[in-house]
Structure 1
Amino acid sequence: METSRLLTVSKPLAALPFCGSYRLIDFPLSNLTAAGSESIGIFMNEQYRSIYNHVRSGSDWDLDGISGDLFFFAPGIDQSRYGQNHEDLVNYYDNLEFVEKSDSDYVVVLGAQVLCNIDLRALLQNHLEQKAAITVVYKTARRSEGESLPIVELDMSKNGRIKGMVSEETLDKKRVPINMEIYCMKASLFIKVVRCSVARNEVYYLREALHQAVAEFSTYGFEYTGYMKKIQSIKAYYDANMDMLKDANRIALLGGSHQIGTKMKNEVPAYYGPKAAPYHALIGEGCRVNGCIRHSIVNRNVSVYEGTNLEDSIILEDCIIGENVYLKHVIVGQGTYVKPNTRITGRADQPFVLEKKQTPHRIP
């Protein structure tokens, strides 16, 4: 499975909860605001309500100033006027005025699919020093760490210049420069790339347009050395959450070059009953715990009843886990009620997913 479709039926990937209190969109927003970005545009798909409800005015990221630095762009209704469905590329084309009127000299493109804590000021400085047309951020890692099959690897020369992209389907121990899909370029070049791509009618996604631009213009790489995970599958999402149970990973991602911000909900602290037994777990605010939780992540406002055992699992927001439940290697979707005496076991390489607001019966 290429994307976490079972988790994104009613919300975009960027709105998925992460590490007990965060959402995936918190990371690109925090990276941009920490760099002092003057204008931020969030380009969304049709399922934009959950993103807007989470971000709102951007006050939790100090984006609610009088200058109006935060903008939301939903896709248009009729894309047929361009000959074919251009997917997200049309949304950028229709809203190029945002870039033109921002008076910004440079544009940084990044999404919520890549988890990282990156210093974008250092990226811009490197871009200027290299006198590059485009700078692409990459992480040197083993292919098995990229979590994308196939992964997109950069074809780089010894001086750091990028000649193009290489798609690899094999898994081995070789360390390669993995494209993190973060790009820095002049605003004028970004506008040109989008307009030309729509005019050519050859690609339908901004990502594809940028891949072509890398081969056409002088492009250099910027190496990122911190924690990184690409969320391109359910397993990658599961592994990234489980990684946060290790202090080194959690500190590197949440407090690296800057703190990661999120929406403050002013919840009460988690309540632990007399029979609660949390071991090596991250538990969000507003939870009521009366069972055993081992090596798991429980997001906000979850109730865990007596006799229940959660192992190596992720429980998303607003769930109720009934009495005498056993879950191992399971991801429980938001708002799900797991009935008493339910037993579900997945695998570390293939976690079982309960979709949002399901009411599962006993699974043998």
Structure 2
Amino acid sequence: MSCSMLGIINATTEFDTFQTLTAHRTLASLPFAGRYRLIDFMLSNMVNSGITNVAIFTGQEVRSLMDHLESGKQWDLGRKRDGLFVFSPEGNSEIERFGSFAHFANNMTYFKRSKQQYVVVANCYTVGTLDFCKILDRHLETGADITEVVHNGEPLQTYILSKKLLLSLFEQYKEQRYYNIFDVVHDNRHTLQINRYEWTGYITNIDCLHSYYQSSLDLLQPTVWEQVFTNDEPILTKVKDEPPTKYKKGSKVRNSIIANGCMIEGEVENSIIFRAVKIGKGAIIRNSIIMQKCQIEENCVLDGVILDKDAIVGNGIQMTGTTEAPLVVEKGSVQRGVAHS
């Protein structure tokens, strides 16, 4: 069944478990898989499901997110009618108190002007492929008021409901103490019919440093990669023109994702290397995530490390983390003359 849907992405969620990775960016704009941001996955799922009207509700720190999204053209949302809309809060006191419903309600005009009958409300940190057309079909078949998407029984903070019901929830959220749809779904006081849709494909929530690190390295498994990145439902992102990666004589790369624009002279194994990274001669990178424009000089050894953007690791430095506690190196930092573990 084909019905119009309005897409809402709640990008206000932040966790304090990412160390410095989210100190200067929102969770939604956290780099992932070599060339993407976390928000790309849910945004692409909506576009691939035929949704042409998407609103992103953000927190206060949005510079990196706005730089990434621009006009929405990369997702075919740079439109004269509908398209991509970004709403930032006017102040944070009410948002902190009442959650996303307060943020939504402050932009009631947007909802009233939209022509879509149903609404998908989703988070910004789920990685995987979701077909919202299938979920909407089930929602209509069951006659549910709200359909909650779950995976292995665990909520994905993603819902489908009618816009009429959503607007009515806005009007009573303070009185009923509903901060968001999750509160509504898991409250036994109302008489709403709640349906749960079990999504059986690969899906994961990036809600802590460990899940970010592990889910990133899981992509090195072909069975996982093929479920996340499909030809029929591509994950779209901001395009950046970079030359192909250059592999110098003596370099070795095994079981890794290497983005474009890199210069590889050393060895890379079981790692994810973002755009425009330079890895010097004799350097060894294992089980690590190296973000955009990092420079790793000669004879370094990095194992179990997350290197944020623009970091520099000097000659001969050794840095070691673990699967449970990867070592995080802050954006733009310079590491010289001492080993870390």
Normalised to the residue count of structure 1, the TM-score between the two structures is 0.84
Q: How does 1:318-357 map to 2 (within 5 A)?
A: 318-357=293-332
What letter matches 1:132 in structure 2?
A
Matching of residues 1-364 of structure 1 within 5 Å: 3-77=17-91, 79=93, 85-140=97-152, 177-200=153-176, 202=177, 204=179, 207-209=182-184, 211-212=186-187, 216-255=191-230, 258-361=233-336, 362-364=338-340
Q: Which 4+ stretches in 1 moved above 6 angstroms?
A: none
Shift of 1:350: 1.1
- C-alpha displacement of 1:207: 4.3
For residues 198 and 336 of structure 1, what CA distance do their matches in structure 2 show? 45
In the alignment, structure 2 segments of 5+ residues that lack a partner are 1-14
Note if contact 1:43-1:73 (Cα within 8 Å) is conserved in structure 2: yes
In the comparison of the two structures, how many residue pairs are matched?
Answer: 325
Alpha-carbon spacing, 1:109–1:277, altered in 2? closer, same or farther (3 Å)? same
- CA distance in 1 between partners of 2:308 and 2:332 (Å): 7
| Structure 2 counterpart of 1:164 | none
Question: Which piece of structure 1 moves more, 255-264 or 326-335?
Answer: 255-264
Rounded to whole Å, the distance in 2 between the matches of 1:348 and 1:215 is: 43
Aligned residue for 1:171? none
For residues 210 and 53 of structure 1, do their structure 2 counterparts lie closer, same or farther at Cα, with a shift above 3 Å needed? farther
2:225 match: secondary structure? helix
Percent identity over the alignment? 29
The offset of 1:76, in angstroms, is 1.0
Structure 2 residue matching 1:310: 3-state secondary structure: strand
TM-score (norm 2): 0.90
Q: Distance in 1 between matches of 2:138 and 2:259?
A: 38
The structural deviation recorded for 1:2 is 5.5
| Secondary structure in structure 2 of the residue aligned to 1:76 | coil
Equivalent residue letter for 1:326: V
Q: Secondary structure at the match of 1:239?
A: helix
Question: CA contact under 8 A between 1:312 and 1:328: conserved in structure 2?
Answer: yes
Stretches of structure 1 that go unaligned for 5 or more consecutive residues are 141-176
CA distance in 1, matches of 2:315, 2:190: 57
Instruction: Note the C-alpha offset of 1:206.
Output: 5.5
